């Protein structure tokens, strides 16, 4: 394995640095990087906002898209798509959303669910490298 | 009658320039090849070119490391046609932060730090520098920072592996007579086994 030669070639200072760096990496997983809870659910169909509701009140609702009705549910501070007429049901697999700035989408039915906390700046539509 | 001393000094300087040029050329080639390889996520790269920066740092000092990094990024971007694109600025900010940290660490512990430690710090610096620039320049969205832990974890591993590669490269180079003068000063720190200290 690589570990033998690696340890052999590390000086004492190297090991200290590796230990500290490892600590930084582990700690970075516990940083409160997650954005705060979302405040409002904003649902748009074909880029028009058709529904908005606060995230802290449980409710079921639905919107009409080109393919049919997409059903959604707000429960326990999270929003999820519960049923949709799209063929592959990818939007159902996206699961529940509770964090500000999050996004659920059912592309075939043109439904986009946004969680607005505060205004989010996005200067770029698309980035091509 | 100091001509022989002058000559050997001059020879040493010419050698240094030639080797630095080779390091830069190799770094650019590696940079370009790595750019062409598919990567699982846009900014996940092993950073093999950093092997050459670390090697230059240990052989010739901080200035040489800066020369290798900056020339690689500029010429590499010219070659790949990404000059002044967002990707170029990501690369530049990563390279700058990595080199600041690497030369800083080397400057603080010149006799005790080895290539693995320097490479590791450089890799973490590169990842954070890139992400910082991505956040400042491209996506002003806090969820960019969600990638930080995974970036750091990935660069931790690649930094260790690059450092190991740099260590092997340094051992190999120091066997060459062209580096005979550097060898005695640096072999101890590089953990190079005694039999390689006096070849021939």
Domain shared by A95 and A60, yes or no: yes
Nearest CA among B114, B174, B136 for reference residue A15: B114
Select the residue of B86, B116, B140 nearest A6 (Cβ to Cβ). B116
Select the residue of B124, B159, B161 nearest A2 (Cβ to Cβ). B161
Residue A18 is part of which domain span?
1-33
Q: Are strands A78-83 and A103-106 parallel, antiparallel or unpaired?
A: unpaired
CATH code for residues B3-186: 1.10.1760.20
CATH of the domain at A56: 2.60.320.10
A30 CA: distance to closest CA in chain B (Å): 9
How does residue A91 score in pLDDT terms, banded at 50, 70 and 90? confident
Cβ neighbours of B116 in A, within 8 Å: 6, 9-11, 14, 18
Cβ neighbours of A121 in B, within 8 Å: 140-141
Q: Is the pLDDT of residue B193 over 50?
A: no
pLDDT score of B65? 96
pLDDT score of A36? 63
Instruction: Report yes or no: A11 at the B interface, CB cutoff 8 Å.
Output: yes
Instruction: Report yes or no: B189 at the A interface, CB cutoff 8 Å.
Output: yes
pLDDT digits (tens, 9 = 90+) for B19-69: 999 999 999 999 999 888 887 766 678 889 999 999 999 999 999 999 999
Instruction: Report yes or no: A9 at the B interface, CB cutoff 8 Å.
Output: yes
Q: Is the Cβ pair B164, A2 closer than 8 Å?
A: yes
Q: Is the pLDDT of residue B100 over 80?
A: yes
Instruction: Report yes or no: A101 at the B interface, CB cutoff 8 Å.
Output: yes
Domain shared by A105 and A53, yes or no: yes
In a domain, A129, yes or no: no
In a domain, A14, yes or no: yes
pLDDT score of A97? 80
Which residue, chain included where needed, has tokens 């973490």? B124
Q: Are strands A78-83 and A40-45 parallel, antiparallel or unpaired?
A: unpaired
Domain shared by A45 and A84, yes or no: yes
d(CA B195, CA B193): 6
Domain shared by A29 and A60, yes or no: no
In a domain, A1, yes or no: yes
Domain shared by A23 and A78, yes or no: no
Which residue, chain included where needed, has tokens 């051992």? B171
pLDDT digits (tens, 9 = 90+) for A7-24: 888 888 999 999 999 999
Q: How far is CA A47 from the centre of its chain?
A: 19
pLDDT score of B199? 40
In a domain, A121, yes or no: no
d(CA A2, CA A13): 20
B11 CA: distance to closest CA in chain A (Å): 31
- Interface with A, mutate which of B120, B186, B193, B194 (most A CBs under 10 A): B120
Instruction: Report yes or no: A57 at the B interface, CB cutoff 8 Å.
Output: no
- Interface with B, mutate which of A7, A25, A32, A122 (most B CBs under 10 A): A25
Domain shared by A12 and A63, yes or no: no
Q: Is the pLDDT of residue A119 over 60?
A: no
Domain shared by A18 and A74, yes or no: no
Q: Is the Cβ pair A25, B114 closer than 8 Å?
A: no
Q: Is the pLDDT of residue A122 over 60?
A: no
In a domain, A9, yes or no: yes
d(CA A129, CA B21): 29
Q: Is the pLDDT of residue B123 over 90?
A: yes
d(CA B187, CA B189): 6
Q: Is the pLDDT of residue B76 over 70?
A: yes
pLDDT score of B2? 59
CB proximity under 8 Å: A 19-38 to B: 21-22, 24-25, 28-29, 31, 33-35
Quote the pTM value: 0.73
ipTM for this prediction: 0.82
- Interface with A, mutate which of B34, B46, B101, B116 (most A CBs under 10 A): B116
For B15, residues 6+ apart whose C-beta sits below 8 A from its C-beta are: B178
| Structural domains of chain A, count | 2
């Amino acid at each position: 394995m690589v570990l033998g030669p690696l340890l052999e070639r590390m000086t004492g200072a190297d090991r200290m640095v590796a230990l500290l760096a490892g600590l930084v990496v582990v700690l970075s997983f516990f940083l409160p990087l997650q954005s705060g809870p979302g405040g409002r659910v904003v649902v748009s169909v074909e880029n028009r906002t058709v529904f908005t509701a606060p995230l802290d009140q449980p409710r079921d609702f639905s919107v009409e898209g080109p393919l049919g009705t997409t059903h959604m549910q707000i429960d326990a501070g999270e929003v999820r798509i519960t049923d949709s007429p799209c063929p592959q049901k990818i939007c159902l697999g996206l699961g529940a959303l509770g964090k500000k700035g999050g996004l659920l989408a059912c592309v075939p039915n043109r439904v986009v669910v946004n969680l607005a906390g505060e205004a989010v700046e996005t200067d770029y539509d698309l980035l091509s490298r | 009658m100091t001509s022989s001393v002058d000559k050997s000094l001059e020879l040493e300087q010419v050698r240094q320039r030639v080797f630095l040029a080779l390091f830069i050329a190799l770094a650019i080639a590696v940079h370009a090849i790595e750019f062409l390889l598919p990567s699982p996520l846009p900014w996940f790269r092993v950073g093999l070119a950093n092997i050459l920066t670390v090697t230059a740092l240990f052989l010739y000092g901080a200035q040489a490391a800066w020369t290798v990094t900056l020339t690689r990024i500029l010429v590499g971007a010219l070659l790949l046609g990404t000059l002044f694109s967002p990707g170029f600025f990501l690369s530049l900010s990563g390279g700058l932060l990595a080199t600041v940290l690497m030369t800083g660490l080397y400057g603080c512990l010149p006799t005790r730090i080895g290539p693995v430690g320097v490479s590791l710090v450089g890799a973490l610096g590169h990842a954070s520098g890139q992400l910082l620039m991505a956040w400042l320049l491209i996506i002003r969205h806090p969820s960019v920072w969600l990638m930080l832990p995974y970036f750091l974890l990935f660069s931790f591993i690649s930094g260790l592996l690059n450092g190991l590669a740099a260590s092997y490269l340094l051992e190999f180079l120091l066997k060459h007579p062209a580096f005979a003068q550097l060898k005695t000063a640096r072999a101890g720190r590089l953990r190079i086994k005694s039999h390689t200290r006096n070849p021939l």
